[in-house]
Amino acid sequence: MYKRSGSKLKTIASVFFAIGTIISIIGGAPLVNAGVRADSVSTTVTGIAIIALGILVSWLANILIYAFGELVDNSQKLVEINEQLLYELRGSTMDPAVNDGQFGLLQNSQDNYGDSNRSAVSPLFQNGNCIMCGKTNVPTTYCTLKGQNGTVSRFLCVDCIKKYNAVPAEQYYN
């Protein structure tokens, strides 16, 4: 029901335009006809004005609804492009499900949570936000993703680690 809503809006806009045009013609044509038969210029002009204004209003409403449908379509295309870009950030073939529990805390690595000169325990795991899917307050793992444009490291949830074949990072900074 809610899939492809942009194209449905564009179709509805075209239907409303057609209906509005037909209603305008049906409403104005009898006045034009009556004005011509009675030699009444004002009745004829009123009928023509009803037809013209009705078609104009229908056209403006059509443009607005159609433009909104186009925005919805384009935003859906952007979502698909973003999903494709995220898919291209795939890492190695390491399956995190196979290595579950293997990755723990990193000893003596630098982190951005405090003084990097002291010996710190830097967690690979933390409760936070997954950068890929946007889930909030979930267990995340600091992972490396390799794609066509290089390598990035981000905190990812378990589902995104599996989906994008991400590799848990060895250190926060290389």
Q: Above 60 in pLDDT, residue 109?
A: no
In single-letter form, the type of residue at position 11 comes to: T
SS3 per-residue string spanning 128-174: ECCCCCCCCCEEEEEEEEEECCEEEEEEEEHHHHHHHCCEECCCCCC
Within a domain: 61: yes
Is the same domain home to 117 and 149? yes
114: pLDDT strictly greater than 60: no
Query: Which of 88, 115, 130 is where one domain is finished?
Result: 88
Which of the pair, 150 or 56, is modelled with greater confidence?
56
Q: How far apart are CA 96 and CA 115, in angstroms?
A: 30
Residue 93 lies in a domain: no
- Looking at the fold, whether 82 and 23 belong to one and the same domain comes out as yes
Number of domains in the chain: 2
Give pLDDT tens digits for 2-47.
778 888 999 999 999 999 999 999 999 999 999 999 988 999 999 9
Which domain does 71 fall in, by range?
5-88
- Give the best-scoring range by mean pLDDT among 69-73, 81-85, 133-137: 69-73
Whether residue 71 is found in the same domain as residue 135: no
Q: Which two tokens stand for residue 33?
A: 């006809």
Asked if 46 and 35 touch (Cβ cutoff 8 Å), the reply is yes
Q: Which of 88, 113, 138 is the C-terminal boundary of a domain?
A: 88
- The per-residue pLDDT for range 118-136, each reduced to its tens digit, is 333 345 667 777 877 888 8
Residues 79 and 110 in one domain: no
List, in sequence order, the alpha helices (H) in the chain. Answer: 5-37, 41-88, 158-164
